[in-house]
Structure 1
Amino acid sequence: MGIALKIVLALVSVILTISILLQSSNSAGMSGSIGGGAEQLFGKRKSQGYDAILSKVSTVTAVLFIVLSLILVAIE
């Protein structure tokens, strides 16, 4: 049981890492802090496609990662 959970935890952590790395950046550096004030004030509509899917995948895998980690600590 413990070995299977460790394998699932490893897969979830790889998926979490990949989904976070594939997401687009929210900031544009110094130019974003100067020129991006209007977007932040009035809101910028988040894309409904690729970024939304990656955001949901990241959220689900992060929750799975935490739950599996706690289960493994409780078992061992």
Structure 2
Amino acid sequence: MDILRAIVQIVYIGICIVLTVIVLKQEGKSSGLSGALTGGSESYWTKNKGRSAEGMIVRSTKILAALFIVLSVVLNLNW
């Protein structure tokens, strides 16, 4: 059981590092309120943002955050 716990801890540390790097790579959402106030219209880029590299970063952030939470709970169990 100790080997399994050690493997889960190594995976957890890896997820923490990758999640930190991915969050730091994301662009800020500066066009939110100011874009609404100035009448910013939707362009091709804003409509297809989910299919771009930035969309992949956002999706992978969500997946890694979910894994982070699950592994945090698993590591907190007394086994």
- Note whether the superposition's TM-score is higher than 0.5: yes
After superposition, give the CA deviation of every residue in 1:12-47 in whole Å (9 maximum; x if it has no partner).
Answer: 01111111111111115x965753x545xxxx4351
What is the CA–CA distance in structure 1 between the aligned matches of 2:8 and 2:78, rounded to whole Å?
A: 10
What is aligned with 1:75? Answer: 78
TM-score, length basis structure 2:
0.72
Counterpart code for 1:4: I
TM-score, length basis structure 1:
0.74
The root-mean-square deviation of aligned C-alpha atoms, in Å, is 2.4
What is the CA–CA distance in structure 2 between the aligned matches of 1:11 and 1:56, rounded to whole Å?
A: 18
Matched-pair identity in %: 26
1:10 aligns with 2:13: yes
Counterpart code for 1:52: G
Unaligned runs of 5+ in 1: none
For 1:24-39, what aligned pairs fall within 5 Å after superposition?
24-28=27-31, 34-35=37-38, 38-39=40-41
Q: How many residues align?
A: 72
Structure 1 segments of 4+ aligned residues over 6 angstroms from their partners:
none
- Conservation of the 8 A alpha-carbon contact between 1:12 and 1:65: yes
1:60 aligns with 2:60: no
Unaligned runs of 5+ in 2: none
